[in-house]
Amino acid sequence: METALLLNTSMLLTLTIILTPMFLPLLLKNFQSSPQTLTTTIKTAFLVSLMPTTLFMYSGLDSITSYWEWKFTMNFKIPLSFKMDQYSMLFFPIALFVTWSILQFAMSYMASDPHITKFFSYLTAFLIAMLTLTLANNMFLLFIGWEGVGIMSFLLISWWHGRAEANTAALQAVLYNRIGDIGLIMSMAWLASTLNSWEMQQMFSPMETPTLPLLGLILAATGKSAQFGLHPWLPAAMEGPTPVSALLHSSTMVVAGIFLLIRSHPLLTNNKTALTLCLCLGAMSTLFAATCALTQNDIKKIIAFSTSSQLGLMMVTIGLNLPQLAFLHISTHAFFKAMLFLCSGSIIHSLNGEQDIRKMGGLQKTLPTTTSCLTVGNMALMGTPFLAGFFSKDLIIENLNTSYLNTWALLLTLLATTFTATYSLRMTLLVQAESTRTPTMTPMNENSPQTLNPITRLALGSTVAGLLITSFMTPTQTPPMTMPMLTKTAAIIATTLGLIFALELANMTHTMTHPKQNNLLNFSSTLGYFNILTHRLSSTNLLYTGQKIATHLTDLSWYKKMGPEGLADLQLMASKASTTLHKGLIKAYLSSSALSILVILLSL
Amino acid sequence: FILMLSLTLGTMITITSNHWVTAWAGLEINTLAVIPLISKSHHPRAIEAATKYFLTQATASALMLFSSMTNAWSSGQWDITQLTNPPSCLLLTAAIAIKLGLTPFHFWFPEVLQGSSLTTALLLSTAMKFPPTTILLLTSHSLNPTLLSTMAIMSIALGGWMGLNQTQTRKILAFSSISHLGWMTIIITYNPKLTLLTFYLYSLMTTSIFLSMNSTNTLKLSTLMTSWTKAPMLNTTLMLTLLSLAGLPPLTGFLPKWLIIQELTKQEMTTTATTISMLSLLGLFFYLRLTYCSTITLPPNSSNKMKQWSIKKPVNTLTPTL
């Protein structure tokens, strides 16, 4: 009994700690939060949140707490309820750890920014929204968190709002998210009308759910997690500062969509169509993003595309009916992706704002710690054995190979794994190795502990996190244990192939003069022509239809032809016609009378 | 004077008759008495009007006699209320329609009204309609409702459409008369009392209009515009009376329309009721135009001199407003 009490209390304590710096300045006059206070708060929250997690690990105790019900109508109540199960328990410390590291890094990265406190408050607000989403036990609270992260993403991407590209990117993010929200609201409406509740527990009935709400959920995940079709916002979101990219667009926000699917997994289990859709969509996304990452020259965009690719992989896992494995990948991915972003932020600052990898090189000698962590992160991303990424990624590919599902999805995923290795190695080589291509006077600096400590901390996490989490998470489905040797090593072989390709290509660049344009290169560098095709077409269509409706439909046809003026014209016509009949000839009158009488007599 | 006496006599005979021949006789006396009234002014238009009137009314009376004869031949009696032979019912309906001026037999009415002076026109529109209406009432139980409804709807429509294009006040009033006759005939087979009510109210309203126009001598729309100089109070009441003819709610003219529509809906003839209401909107338009010309606007030039004043002052112009 006291375990449950301790669990709940510590969880609430964590939440309260995070909320404190947001509300205290409003209550006390002389208390102003500063970046330092916010960072310390998050660190405390992390340490406190370790307690419920360990409690959970040792007792396996799930808990659902309901407070204060909102009586919406007589029989539809929306309680404020938190669900503390394996997912939220594990997510809390990971998210808080990553956020702590990022906030510490941001103290040095954004030191020259006059509104740094506002920046930190935005980040904290985002964190609160994300945690609400994770803790939610009903769709209503989840939706609040969902929208919260969307809004904070908008505000943070357009942090440097004087820059036109930043504003466009933020708008793009909001629009694509909104399209996904349509799906979410549709599912919520279906749930409210069919099951009469938005609670997670009520959603889990063993029968087969119709495809419509599941399509809505998949649409929501596509929008939020940048699957193929609603993906352009993620690379564009790199306009925001690096801490923003690290927090939102690598670890936490973009996994919100996947998290939604994990939470509503029992709904998806029985519906083969939805599962296949997830599988194919994920495979498509992962390969597409990996292809685009091959020819990118901006370091942040490469990492953004790699995020996109890993999200596709998570979607594939959902399609394989393995939510736990998807969550494992979310957790491990958070570590190394955040670290990659922070490293790239440090490199960018050192090179005085240079983001193009063609203008970097030989940084291993000048920024040793940062580049070592970069290498570690890339290797974890590729799935090097026994680093963090291995535990999740390898398991996913093993399961994919031993399942009875779509071969095409399997092929695409393997190909994407190869590409992952290729672009990661490309990035590493161009940044660190060989001779320097940077300008001569650069403020190379990695001496401040505020920059280094987060990065090294996350590197430590990337190494051990996989092992830690898998040791303590009880799998709900038995993982495949025996498989042929080729299948077992498929992931490693694919990755090695990718590495070899990358080395070959790097060697080729020494002898080439000027790359000729060919179709493949064009496809990859313009992100598959997707942006160019869709953005202009859809907006012009919409505006044109609007104009047509306003002028032609409303003004012309309804007012002039069919409405009042049309009626007036009709009457005028009738009046003129009948006037010409009355000419005054009595013979005509009498004959018409006679004719009428004849007609009457004959017909009646 | 003697013409007035003959008119009264003819009307009385027709109203109180029980035999077809007496009815016919009364109608003939009326016709003959009115002809010299129409052609009193010796104007060619008046003579033409008189001729047309004579021709049409004579046809009508002949038809009526014919129908009563066929009825007598088939049923053996001359009672007005016992009209059993179907063709004779139809013929009688046609004859009365010609006498009253229902579509498609209405062509004579505007020209005759235009050719006569205003007082004669008044007489033609009110008093002369009374005997044929009585005959219709007496025989209403045996008449064909389809035919009557068709003629009525067509009358209302045509009265509306034709009235839109007119500038002579007498012709406008002729078409308004045709329209109101339509309203009267549509309800005659279902509730003859409403027909009578409509007729009374209509004659009251038309009388006041005609008399008002008589005292200000307005024969055209343009004359109507300067009528405010001659008798301003009369002008105001003219406006109210016109709107009452149109059938606007707080005024008296709304009453028959409302009751007729109610009666029609009781008979499940809602489409008919809707149609005739829509068509009387056309009439509303030209009544409004008359109102607009007479009362609401002022003409560009003002004339302060009084023109002719007739000796008779109009009576009961205020009653339609009650």
Distance CA A137, CA A263 (A): 9
One domain for residues A462 and A543: no
Average pLDDT of the segment spanning B169-179 = 89
One domain for residues B108 and B233: no
Distance CA A165, CA B198 (A): 78
Residue A446 has pLDDT above 70, yes or no: yes
**Domain of A595, in residue numbers:** 538-603
Q: Minimum mean pLDDT among A157-171, A559-573, B135-149: which range?
A: A559-573
Residue A106 has pLDDT above 60, yes or no: yes
One domain for residues B153 and B280: yes
**B146/A597 Cβ within 8 A:** no
- At A7 the pLDDT is 80
Q: State whether residue B55 sits within 8 Å of chain A by CB.
A: yes
Closest residue of B to A571, CA-based? B161
Can you read off the two tokens belonging to residue A101? 């590291």
Cβ-nearest to B107 among A575, A579, A589: A589
Chain A interface mutation, best of B107, B158, B285, highest count of A Cβ atoms under 10 Å = B107
Chain B interface mutation, best of A567, A569, A575, A599, highest count of B Cβ atoms under 10 Å = A575
One domain for residues A162 and A226: yes
Is residue A522 domain-resident?
Answer: no
Residue A530 has pLDDT above 80, yes or no: no
Is residue A479 domain-resident?
Answer: yes
**A578/B56 Cβ within 8 A:** no
Cβ-nearest to A578 among B86, B90, B158: B158
One domain for residues B196 and B107: no
Which of these, B56, B37, B38, B55, lies nearest to B97 by C-alpha position?
B56
3-state secondary structure of A248: helix
Q: State whether residue B105 sits within 8 Å of chain A by CB.
A: yes
One domain for residues A241 and A371: yes
Q: Is the dihedral of CA A472, A478, A484, A488 positive or negative?
A: negative
Distance CA A392, CA A281 (A): 20
Is residue A526 domain-resident?
Answer: no
One domain for residues A89 and A161: yes
Is residue A454 domain-resident?
Answer: yes
Those of residues 301-330 in A touching chain B at CB distance below 8 A are none
One domain for residues B101 and B214: no
Confidence band (pLDDT; 50, 70, 90) for A146? Answer: very high
**B93/A600 Cβ within 8 A:** yes
**B98/A575 Cβ within 8 A:** no
Cβ-nearest to A596 among B51, B55, B104: B104
Is residue A175 domain-resident?
Answer: yes
Confidence band (pLDDT; 50, 70, 90) for A596? Answer: confident
One domain for residues A289 and A364: yes
Minimal Cα–Cα distance from A569 to chain B, Å? 12
Distance CA B59, CA A194 (A): 78
Residue B59 has pLDDT above 60, yes or no: yes
Q: State whether residue B246 sits within 8 Å of chain A by CB.
A: no
Cβ-nearest to B165 among A576, A597, A601: A576
Is residue B127 domain-resident?
Answer: no
One domain for residues A369 and A501: yes
What value, to the nearest 5°, has the Cα angle with vertex A189 and ends A188 and A191?
65
Helix (H) or strand (E) holding B275: helix B270-291
Q: Which residue has the higher pLDDT, A99 or A523?
A: A99
One domain for residues A201 and A149: yes
Distance CA A345, CA A107 (A): 12
Those of residues 553-582 in A touching chain B at CB distance below 8 A are 571-572, 574-576, 578-579, 582
3-state SS, one letter per residue, for A296-356: CCEHHHHHHHHHHHHHHHHHHHHHCCCHHHHHHHHHHHHHHHHHHHHHHHHHHHHCCCCCE
Distance CA A254, CA A34 (A): 28
Cβ contacts of A516 within 8 Å, gap of 6 or more: none
One domain for residues A501 and A542: no
Minimal Cα–Cα distance from A199 to chain B, Å? 54
Can you read off the two tokens belonging to residue A196? 């009469």
Is residue B132 domain-resident?
Answer: no
Confidence band (pLDDT; 50, 70, 90) for A528? Answer: low
The CA-based dihedral angle spanning residues B34, B35, B37, B39, taken in that order and rounded to the nearest 10 degrees: 160
What DSSP character marks residue B1? -
Which of these, A436, A452, A392, A434, lies nearest to A417 by C-alpha position?
A392
Is residue A26 domain-resident?
Answer: yes
Neighbours of B264 (CB within 10 A): 23
Cβ contacts of A559 within 8 Å, gap of 6 or more: A565
Q: Is the dihedral of CA B70, B72, B75, B80 positive or negative?
A: positive
- At A143 the pLDDT is 92
Residues A19-68: pLDDT tens digits? Answer: 888 777 777 777 777 888 888 888 888 888 888 888 888 877 777 777 77
Q: State whether residue B161 sits within 8 Å of chain A by CB.
A: yes
**A604/B144 Cβ within 8 A:** yes
Residue contacts between A and B (CB atoms, under 8 Å): 58
One domain for residues B156 and B272: yes
Closest residue of A to B52, CA-based? A586
Max Cα distance, chain A (Å): 118
Residues A449-468: pLDDT tens digits? Answer: 888 888 888 888 888 888 88
Q: State whether residue B104 sits within 8 Å of chain A by CB.
A: yes
Cβ-nearest to A589 among B63, B108, B165: B108
The number of C-alpha atoms within 13 Å of B109 and in the hemisphere containing its C-beta is 32
| Structural domain count of chain B | 2
Domain boundary among A513, A547, A566: A513
**Cβ pair A331, A372 in contact under 8 A:** no
Which of these, B104, B199, B185, lies nearest to B145 by C-alpha position?
B185
One domain for residues A124 and A42: yes
One domain for residues A508 and A365: yes
Is residue A205 domain-resident?
Answer: yes
One domain for residues B293 and B201: yes
Distance CA B216, CA B228 (A): 9
One domain for residues A449 and A568: no
One domain for residues B200 and B95: no
Q: Which residue has the higher pLDDT, A449 or A134?
A: A134
**Domain of B49, in residue numbers:** 1-116
Helix (H) or strand (E) holding A170: helix A164-194
Residues A365-394: pLDDT tens digits? Answer: 888 888 889 988 888 888 887 777 788 888
**Cβ pair B103, B127 in contact under 8 A:** no
The CA-based dihedral angle spanning residues B13, B16, B18, B23, taken in that order and rounded to the nearest 10 degrees: 30
Cβ-nearest to A601 among B87, B98, B164: B87
Distance CA A221, CA A253 (A): 11
Q: Minimum mean pLDDT among A154-168, A282-296, A316-330, A567-581: which range?
A: A567-581
ipTM above 0.95, yes or no: no
- At A184 the pLDDT is 93
Average pLDDT of the segment spanning A541-568 = 78
Is residue A521 domain-resident?
Answer: no
- At B280 the pLDDT is 87
Set of chain A residues whose Cβ sits within 8 Å of the Cβ of B158? 578
Matching residue, tokens 């972003």: A341
| Structural domain count of chain A | 2
Residue B287 has pLDDT above 70, yes or no: yes
**B165/A589 Cβ within 8 A:** no
Cβ contacts of A412 within 8 Å, gap of 6 or more: A283, A284, A286, A287
**A586/B51 Cβ within 8 A:** yes
One domain for residues B167 and B100: no
Helix B270-291 / helix B169-186 crossing angle, nearest 10 deg: 160
Whole-structure pTM value = 0.66
Cβ-nearest to A586 among B52, B91, B94: B52
- At A186 the pLDDT is 93
Distance CA A63, CA A82 (A): 8
- At A218 the pLDDT is 92
Cβ contacts of A238 within 8 Å, gap of 6 or more: A169, A245, A249, A298, A300, A301, A304
- At A450 the pLDDT is 81
One domain for residues A17 and A151: yes
Percentage of chain A beyond pLDDT 90 is: 11
Residues A532-553: pLDDT tens digits? Answer: 677 778 778 888 888 887 777 7
3-state secondary structure of A14: helix
One domain for residues B215 and B102: no
